[in-house]
Amino acid sequence: MSSNRRPLKDVLIEVAAILQAAGIASPRMEARRLAGWAIGCDAAGLLSLDTLPPEAEPRLAGGLAQRCARRPLALIEGKTGFWSLTLMVSSETLIPRGDSETLIEALLSLRPERDAIGSVLDLGTGTGCLLLAALSEYDMAFGVGVELSPDAAHLASLNARRNGLAGRSAFFSGNWFSALRGTFDVILSNPPYIRAADLADLMPEVRDYEPVRALVGGQDGLDDYRRLFAQAKPYLAPDGIMIFEIGQGQEREVTALAERAGFVMTEARLIWPELSERSVLKLRQRIDPYRIEKPLAERSKLASLI
């Protein structure tokens, strides 16, 4: 890219062409986002400019080089949107994806009354996306996020502060339930569910830049479901619900694991988001929200996992 000041339209065309040659699926959209990031303006601000400011040229060139190396755009920008929130992201966490918003939709369908939930637990919280989205909908709830990585737990706490939810949330570094006491009305989790043998097949944005510990769930992808089901009962309130994300094709295995742990699957829904063929890879195996309930002797009404 030339260092001469040039019309922004020409710059965007050039950046988009480079991105397309690098195999980026939405080059024009990403060119606009990279330019906005380099300049420090939003989409509306970008429309008001005729030329690329000279000081933005090296920043744009650097961001473009990173993206051509398949570094995720969200990591370059340092943030992403999820639900109604803007969240900071880092290489310590998975990048929140729109697919996972299905878990929040499922929660809202199960508990439509906004005062129906007092406590929420998010296991493997990452950026805090699931917990903070839930708290944004349930004003009376307090939430706890647990994350193996201390750096990720810190990032989640910063996201809570950024979104005005720090007073109703707490984040800890721990291994699933190990640091917890008490029971929760809702348990959320997007645990690792990729099979170890499938890691090499993931798109490079995921395979090379997101933490493997948050992706791979052992040889069959189910190791962490085994741990979660084995440990969950003492922490789930009598009328509580658990909402987990699972991978495509794991319905039968997850159901069997739940039943062996003393839960009863009462509902399963398979969601197929509209994704381009480039995105439909083994990592982006679609979300199966599951609804699970405790045995009748341990509940007064439906307790679920979606």
Is the confidence at residue 1, as pLDDT, over 90? Answer: no
Question: How does the average pLDDT of the chain come out, rounded?
Answer: 84
pLDDT, residue 297, reads 34
Taking the alpha carbons of 82, 86, 89, 93 in that order, is the dihedral positive or negative?
negative
Position 265 confidence tier, pLDDT thresholds 50, 70, 90: low
Helices 223-232 and 251-260, interaxial angle, to 10°? 30
Confirm if 271 and 251 have CB atoms less than 8 A apart: no
Percent of the chain predicted with pLDDT > 70: 85
Model-level pTM greater than 0.95?
Answer: no
In terms of domains, do 115 and 51 share one?
A: no
**How does residue 272 score in pLDDT terms, banded at 50, 70 and 90?**
very low
Does the residue 2 lie in any domain?
Answer: no
Binning pLDDT at 50, 70 and 90, where does residue 62 land? Answer: very high
Do 33 and 102 share a structural domain? no
On the question of pLDDT at 306 being above 60, the answer is no
pLDDT for 165-196, tens place per residue? Answer: 999 999 999 999 987 889 999 999 999 999 99
Question: What does the pLDDT average to over 214-223?
Answer: 92
> 234 and 86, same structural domain?
yes
Instruction: Please report the pLDDT score of residue 43 as a whole number.
Output: 86
Distance CA 193, CA 213 (A): 10
- Asked if residue 306 is part of any domain, the answer here is no
Tell whether 42 and 138 lie within a shared domain.
no
**What local confidence, expressed as pLDDT, does residue 274 receive?**
34
304 within some domain: no
Contacts 24+ apart (CB under 8 A), 31-40: 33/73, 33/77, 34/60, 34/63, 34/64, 34/67, 34/73, 34/76, 35/8, 35/11, 35/60, 37/63, 37/76, 37/77, 38/63
